[in-house]
Structure 1
C-alpha cells in the first residue's frame, strides 16, 4: 500500500512537468515533424533519445540543434532553426532525452 502511495505522489508531482514539456513542444510546433515513438518528417523522440543515450553533453548538443537547426544527421531533410529561447531549447532537450 505504501509503494502505491509513493508512486501516486510521484505521478502527481512529475505528471504536470511532463505535460508542460509536451505543451511546449506543441506550442513550438515540434510535434508537426516529430512523434513520440514514430517518425513523421523527422525522427521520433524515442529514436533521438536512444541515439543520444550515454552521450556526454547530449542535452546541450540537442538544445543547440533545436535552436539552430541541423542537417544530414537523420537523412536529407534538414531541421530548420526554431524560435525558442535557450531555456526553452534546454527544457525541450531534457524532455526528449527522457524518452527511453
Structure 2
C-alpha cells in the first residue's frame, strides 16, 4: 500500500514538473515571436527547443529553474541564424540573437 502511494506521488510530481515546463516553454515561444516581430526578422519553424536546465537564484535570492531555449530566425529569407531565450522561472531573463545581415 505504501509503495503504491509513493509511486503515485512520484508520478504526480513528474507530471506537474512536465506541465510547468510546458507552460514556461509557451511563455518563451511568445516572447521570441514578439522579439522577432519587433526586430522585423522571421522566426523559423515556430519552435523553441529546450537546450539546458539548471537551478539559479533570482534577484530576490529565491532559487528558480533556469531554462535555455534555442530558436532559429532569418533576416532575408536565405540564411538561418541562431538565438537563445533564457528563462528564470516563468520570467524571460534575456533573448540573445546571433549577428545577422539585413537589407537596408
Verify same fold: TM over 0.5: no
Q: Which has the higher contact order (CA 8 A, sep 6+)?
A: 1
User: Which category of TM-score, normalised to the shorter sequence, fits these structures?
Assistant: 0.3 to 0.5
TM, length-normalised to structure 1: 0.36
Q: Which has the higher helix share?
A: 1
Larger radius of gyration: 2
Q: Which has the higher strand share?
A: 2
TM-score (norm 2): 0.35
